[in-house]
């Protein structure tokens, strides 16, 4: 066993990475191996974090480019268009029962029932998307 100079300041002593055999005495081989293993672990964590940061930066840049090219549309615009589209479809679906049934209330109710069932099937299909 060897007492490394300045052993009190060795990083990792307080973290439990290296162990002291006796006051001011550490096993040299185990100490070096533990410090190297700790340095490798920290280096790998740093590398992983750096890779994740690069991936996120690349993703952000891709989103910016897509927006500039016009291939990326804001979510709110898409939702607004979907609501407008749904409004047009629903408005158009209410007209046929009136045109088909005319003054015949029974026929109009039957047509309305068919249209309402179709609307329900459409709503169910859209919920599954």
Residue 27: which of 4, 5, 47, 46 has the closest Cα?
4
- In a domain, residue 29? The reply is yes
| DSSP class of 17 | S
Alpha helix (H) residue ranges in the chain: 28-69, 75-101, 105-127
More confident position, 50 or 22? 50
Are 11 and 65 in a shared domain?
Answer: yes
Residue 98: which of 115, 120, 86 has the closest Cα?
115
- Structural domains of the chain, count: 2
- In a domain, residue 2? The reply is no
Are 101 and 61 in a shared domain?
Answer: no
Question: Which of 69, 92, 108 marks a domain boundary?
Answer: 69
Q: Are 59 and 66 in contact (CB under 8 A)?
A: no
Q: Can you tell me the mean pLDDT for 66-86?
A: 84
Are 15 and 35 in a shared domain?
Answer: yes
The predicted structure's pLDDT at residue 60:
93
- In a domain, residue 48? The reply is yes
Are 38 and 81 in a shared domain?
Answer: no
More confident position, 117 or 19? 117
Range of the domain at 93: 75-127
- In a domain, residue 1? The reply is no
């Amino acid at each position: 066993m060897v007492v490394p100079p300045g052993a009190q300041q060795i990083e990792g002593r307080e973290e439990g990475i290296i162990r002291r055999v006796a006051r001011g005495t550490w096993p040299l081989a185990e100490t070096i191996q533990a410090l190297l293993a700790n340095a490798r672990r920290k280096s790998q964590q740093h590398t992983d974090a750096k890779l994740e940061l690069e991936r996120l930066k690349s993703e952000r840049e891709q989103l910016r480019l897509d927006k500039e090219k016009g291939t990326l549309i804001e979510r709110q615009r898409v939702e607004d268009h979907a609501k407008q589209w749904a409004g047009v479809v629903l408005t158009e679906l209410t007209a046929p029962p009136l045109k088909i049934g005319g003054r015949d209330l029974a026929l109009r109710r039957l047509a309305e029932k068919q249209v309402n069932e179709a609307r329900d099937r459409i709503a169910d299909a859209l919920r599954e998307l």
